[in-house]
Structure 1
Amino acid sequence: MAGMTYFVALPFDVADGSVVVGEPIECLSPAAAIERAQGLWKILGHTGAVAFSRTGDPATGDFSDATVLRKFGNVPEDLSAL
């Protein structure tokens, strides 16, 4: 699949006893996504965070499955919806 690779840090929090997804933050590199995810969890106090990448074509909306780079803290086991 041709296209662009996006690197993302995604925080998680707890609301009403369930882990919920926060706002994704696009990053410039895998290292930046990992660092941002760690900061979201460790410094900003989110329940957890994950750094991942996805490759795809934004014009067609065709994207590959996400590749998890690192997990921090409490994140859902099933991340297939990324």
Structure 2
Amino acid sequence: MAKKKFEEAVAQLEAIVEDLESGDLPLDKAMKRFEEGVKLSKICSDTLDEAETRVRVLTGETEEGLQDAPFAEADQRETE
């Protein structure tokens, strides 16, 4: 299965929430929509986790927080 784009998954998830909140679906269809929603929620969560990891790598952040670098090292990196 092709990986869904985050925005598509969110839009589909919003539509499912609206369907479920309407209360107009029979139980079997509501359960099927709920299952779809759970899968979409997992896709969105995984995508956000991946994005967070990429941001942490790009910013040099670790689990303990941002890494401190002495000013001299920071100046050398900027000139390279």
TM range (shorter): under 0.3
The structure whose Rg is larger is 2
| Larger proportion of strand | 1
Larger relative contact order, structure 1 or 2 (CA cutoff 8 Å, min sep 6): 1
TM-score normalized by structure 2? 0.27
TM-score normalized by structure 1? 0.27
